[in-house]
Structure 1
Amino acid sequence: MPHHMINKQVAARAVERPDAVAVIDRGVAVDYRTLDAAAESAAADLARHGAGPGTFVAVRLPRGAHLVMTLLAVLKTGAAYAALDPRWPPDRVGLLLEALDPPVVAGPSGWNPFSHDLSEWAALGERPPPVDGTADDPACVFFTSGTTGVPKGVVSPHRATTRLFAAGGPLSFGPGTVMCQSSPAAWDAFNLELWGPLTTGGTVVVAPDDHLLPHVLHQLVTAHGVNTAWLTASLFNLFVDLEPDCFTGLGHVLTGGERLSPPHIGRFLRRFPETVLANGYGPVETCVFATYHPIVAADVDRPDGIPLGRPVPDTTIELIDGEIHIGGAGLALGYLGDPGATAERFRNALYRTGDLGLLDDDGVLHFRGRADRQVKIRGHRIEPSEIEAVTSGIGQVKQCVVVPVPGARPGTYEKLALFYTAPPGSGPAWLRSRLAAVLPPYAVPDTIRQVPSIPVTPNGKTDTRLLLSRL
């Protein structure tokens, strides 16, 4: 199927529906005409600062209409953006900026989109230099956990995002789509929430808080007609437990990122039988979703759990020695500046996920666990080896091990525990502050314990069972 560039899709919608609402941010509506014209002027200014084809622009801005305009403007210059969470510690941001080598940084002490409101940007009437780009060009970079202690930058092309919303596919959003935008911009789920509606003529409603809460979701549904939302499995379960009425009015709820809880799914389906509830699966290297499964009541009683589903358009799934390999238009271009890691994980136009799976007789994919130590906790992909590498690099630490703490359901994890040895005076509070200066908040272990030694089993492996018994 033909593929498209994100910015050209948005521009086409601005021509078709100029007065339609594109973004609602804290109650203020921005139409497509204003958004696209503002992004054009901002792109012209960014180009004067060096943004253009072959460059990566770092963006450190809070979620909102100015962030949307800035990302669209970056794409209009022919550059790709890397959205860096403003809450990330400076040391981590410094590592990422070194990898990106951006010509310009949008954010604190850098290029400032807040110098004008969007209507003022639009009124400038500027245009960036013309760019001949294709859907295979880089659109964005997502930084994900790496085993060496250095985050890996996943370079995702335009086609990886736009292929998700192909007409006739399960995510065929359109002018009637009003989607809640609550994910951090650094996540690939942000592309679902933002570009899904904007490339198809829908509306993005920005949630006002850093962490979406049930009553906030309900307010957005009531005030702005939100009808589509994405929630990680952990957040979905929490909402079902705390305030299930917050889902009232939603027509399409997407969840995933971790194993789904059949009891929570069952409670939701009984309460909202008309709402489409779907499980989406896909690592960031394949951009948001590689498979999609509309959940039905019979799935709740399956002994093998809720299925991952069938491939989305222009996506292929292959099992090689039981490991899930993904191919197709969603595939990333590789890891930024790391040809070795790219060659290891991307082979023969397929991405090795490290996930184990099974395809049933109907061609539906099921999850069977991990082939390595990577875990998902509260929707975040975490490499315990990265945390161990960072911890080991702290002078006083002699030994350390990170142990995921199992959740109530098989195959799930509720938190991370870090055990370490160090001289007296190097207590858990000291180590937590050192880790918080380097790791994003979600990767700092919930529990940190100083121990006399790291125990081992008779065969010489870390005795994780004994360590967990000490919690």
Structure 2
Amino acid sequence: MSVQQTAVVAEIQRRIRDNSDGDAIETVDGVLSYREFGRRVEGFATRLATLCAPGEFIGIEAARTSGSVVAMVGALLAGRPFVFIDPRDSVDSNTTKVSSLGIRWVVRGSAPSDVPALVPAPAEWRGDTAGRHRWAPDDVALHRGSIGYAIHTSGSTGEPKCVLVRAGSLARMVGDHVRALELDTASRTLQFARLTFDGCITEILWTLTAGACLVVLGEEHLTPGAVLRGTLEKFRVTHLKTTPFALTATEPTTAMSLRHVINGGGACRQAVVRKWAAAAAFHNAYGLTETTVCNFLSRPLDPDDCTEAVPLGAVVGDCGFDVLPLTAADGDDAARSRGTRGELVITGESVAIGYLTPQGLRPFVDGDANRVYRTGDIVEVRDGEVFFVERLDRQLKVRGFRLDPGEIEAAACRLTGVAEAVVTAEPHTRADDVAEDALVCYYLGAATAREVRAHLDAVLDPYKVPSVIHQVDALPYTRNGKVDRDALRAGRRSPADTGGPVTAEDRVLDWVRRLTGVTDVRLDDNFYDIGGDSASTVVLVDVLKGLGWMEVGVRDVLRAENLRVLVDRLPGQGA
């Protein structure tokens, strides 16, 4: 047994001894018992200790197999840090991972239940080894023996960042999950997260440290909606941690065996709580790659307690937190005066070692060498509970006001007929040189745009109410599971039909639909009652001029009781 063995691995080995006949991993090929799982882990760790020096990184291909799980646990047992590598990523990306971490050996993909195969790193990933060097080996050597794994995250910048995470910080975080989620030997966790996402760490370790069964399936079994629903039923899954998108797209059924469901990887909406809390104990979770996966986990949530917002929950793992007050440039005066809103800062042992960069190791410490990580997330503390608001880098400035789109999204989702909402700043027209002067709210749900506007008018300050409220049939998502805002914008600007409006009245109504998002615009509507604002007024004036009313001005639109008054002033339309 390695002297580098972590408390997590010690607990897994205890389960291997005490639950040797129990199911450890189930794949489409069958079931691996804890006895066989333990034998494979020990064998892999022994071979790894022979081939790799203490502290030397290995790569594990991100294949959804029992072999990947065996390799991960075996690496922890042997004290050899690991990094998951997805063969579908670009050669340049994987070459950077292999060369920067000095990887010589890789666990290659195999059949779902095969023993992991440790082979030399593929030539296409090694690159020009003569011209490449490990990044700052001296910096990394200082932490030899404490690193559990590396994981790459692009965060909000789009540039990959290599995070080095300690193995020792895993134990308390995993143990807190086991207790909160009531895991036991009868539990069955679906391994949902991609292996290159750190969410897989908690899924795998909370299951195996509890002596439970980990269900490992290919991505074809995990598509949100009907496919995921069938998987949950067929494999009798009791514990599921997944994304807001998957929870929104999938419906729970009485044929499922779910006991605990956890929202992770994005803001949790009230509609999701209402739907899944009826089927199982439902939790919200929050954490970052840089702070060892998860830092907050809620108690089972009652939908009646989440009508305003969904709390992040209690601290898990060996960490604490601070909230840095927003500066005058960061938020609105009302939020600052309450003293409850600011940037979330995670402190303590759960904070990872730092970023490995070509210039060296950038440790997550403050001037006094305390472990500190500024998350870049705005939170609000109310009545002792923490609520996510928005990313600092997603704050918007529209018409002179600095706004948190997450606050507006959360307000929209308080309406029963709204399942999800996304707020962006965009120009009113397609011209690239036009300022982003329109606040646009895309929403998913049965409510009408008029109902959403009326609701937001009642709960938000006027300057926070979007001028465009646009209903969508589905939200587009990126490969990383984030809402694709560029695709939303492109969809809204696409022509609604092929023929286009044919009369002046049709043209005016069509433009008002585009400017407000209201699809059932009528001539009796007042432009400002349905979302018109100063910026969209200018656009509408240009439209009216293009239809022949050359002397029309902003005042004419302001004074018009309804759209009929404007249409009637057009040449050939009457008055």
Superposition TM-score, scaled by structure 2 size:
0.58
1:364 paired with 2:388, answer no
Give runs of ≥4 in structure 1 deviating > 6 Å: 113-116, 344-347, 439-445
Q: Show CA shifts across 1:288-310 (max 9, x none).
A: 321112321223421xx211122
The answer for the alignment partner of 1:253 in structure 2 is 261
1:105 paired with 2:106, answer yes
The answer for the alignment partner of 1:310 in structure 2 is 314
Q: Which of 28, 38, 46 does residue 30 from structure 2 map onto? A: 28
Q: Structure 1 pair 78/17, CA: closer, same or farther in 2 (3 Å)?
A: same
Q: Show CA shifts across 1:81-110 (max 9, x none).
A: 1012232122221222222221312227xx
Q: Structure 1 pair 234/408, CA: closer, same or farther in 2 (3 Å)?
A: same
The answer for the alignment partner of 1:229 in structure 2 is 240
Identity %: 23
User: Which amino acid is the alignment partner of residue 83 of structure 2?
Assistant: A
The answer for the alignment partner of 1:126 in structure 2 is none
8 A contact 1:164–1:171 mirrored in 2: no
The answer for the alignment partner of 1:184 in structure 2 is 194
Q: Structure 1 pair 406/55, CA: closer, same or farther in 2 (3 Å)?
A: farther
Q: Structure 1 pair 345/203, CA: closer, same or farther in 2 (3 Å)?
A: farther
Distance in 1 of aligned mates of 2:34 and 2:305 = 40
Q: Structure 1 pair 441/60, CA: closer, same or farther in 2 (3 Å)?
A: farther
Deviation at 1:189, TM superposition (A): 0.9
Distance in 2 of aligned mates of 1:443 and 1:177 = 32
Q: Structure 1 pair 78/341, CA: closer, same or farther in 2 (3 Å)?
A: closer
1:162 paired with 2:164, answer no
The answer for the alignment partner of 1:268 in structure 2 is 276
8 A contact 2:24–2:214 mirrored in 1: yes
- Which stretches in structure 1 are left out of the alignment for 5+ residues? 122-133, 377-400, 418-438, 450-464
Distance in 2 of aligned mates of 1:154 and 1:407 = 34
Deviation at 1:345, TM superposition (A): 11
**Structure ID, larger Rg:** 2
Deviation at 1:258, TM superposition (A): 1.5
Moved more, 64-73 or 168-177: 168-177
Deviation at 1:13, TM superposition (A): 1.2
SS of corresponding position for 2:31: strand
8 A contact 1:39–1:73 mirrored in 2: yes
8 A contact 1:163–1:330 mirrored in 2: no
Q: Structure 1 pair 55/171, CA: closer, same or farther in 2 (3 Å)?
A: farther
Q: Show CA shifts across 1:411-449 (max 9, x none).
A: 9x95699xxxxxxxxxxxxxxxxxxxxx98979986499
Superposition TM-score, scaled by structure 1 size:
0.69
Distance in 2 of aligned mates of 1:79 and 1:99 = 16
| Residues 395-434 of structure 1: pairs in structure 2 closer than 5 A | 407-408=442-443
- Which stretches in structure 2 are left out of the alignment for 5+ residues? 119-142, 326-341, 396-404, 407-435, 445-455, 457-463, 465-473, 491-534, 540-575
| Residues 37-76 of structure 1: pairs in structure 2 closer than 5 A | 37-50=39-52, 52-76=53-77
1:297 paired with 2:303, answer yes
State the Cα RMSD in Å: 4.0
Q: Show CA shifts across 1:9-51 (max 9, x none).
A: 222211111111100011510011111211221222233332x
1:326 paired with 2:334, answer no
Distance in 1 of aligned mates of 2:162 and 2:107 = 18
Deviation at 1:212, TM superposition (A): 3.3
8 A contact 1:252–1:277 mirrored in 2: yes
Deviation at 1:313, TM superposition (A): 4.5
Moved more, 165-174 or 4-13: 165-174
The answer for the alignment partner of 1:5 in structure 2 is 7
Q: Show CA shifts across 1:216-250 (max 9, x none).
A: 444444444310101101111111xxx33288321
Deviation at 1:329, TM superposition (A): 3.6
SS of corresponding position for 1:372: helix
Q: Structure 1 pair 220/246, CA: closer, same or farther in 2 (3 Å)?
A: farther
User: Which amino acid is the alignment partner of residue 268 of structure 1?
Assistant: W
The answer for the alignment partner of 1:278 in structure 2 is 283
Higher RCO (C-alpha 8 Å, min separation 6): 1
8 A contact 2:174–2:202 mirrored in 1: no
User: Which amino acid is the alignment partner of residue 53 of structure 1?
Assistant: P
| Residues 429-468 of structure 1: pairs in structure 2 closer than 5 A | 447=487
8 A contact 2:58–2:104 mirrored in 1: yes
1:16 paired with 2:18, answer yes
Q: How many residues align?
A: 377
8 A contact 1:291–1:312 mirrored in 2: yes
Distance in 2 of aligned mates of 1:176 and 1:115 = 22
8 A contact 2:475–2:483 mirrored in 1: no
Q: Show CA shifts across 1:377-434 (max 9, x none).
A: xxxxxxxxxxxxxxxxxxxxxxxx9xx99642899x95699xxxxxxxxxxxxxxxxx
Q: Structure 1 pair 69/91, CA: closer, same or farther in 2 (3 Å)?
A: same
SS of corresponding position for 1:204: strand
8 A contact 2:27–2:112 mirrored in 1: no
The answer for the alignment partner of 1:351 in structure 2 is 373
8 A contact 2:236–2:256 mirrored in 1: no
User: Which amino acid is the alignment partner of residue 327 of structure 1?
Assistant: T
Distance in 2 of aligned mates of 1:330 and 1:135 = 17
Q: Structure 1 pair 345/30, CA: closer, same or farther in 2 (3 Å)?
A: farther
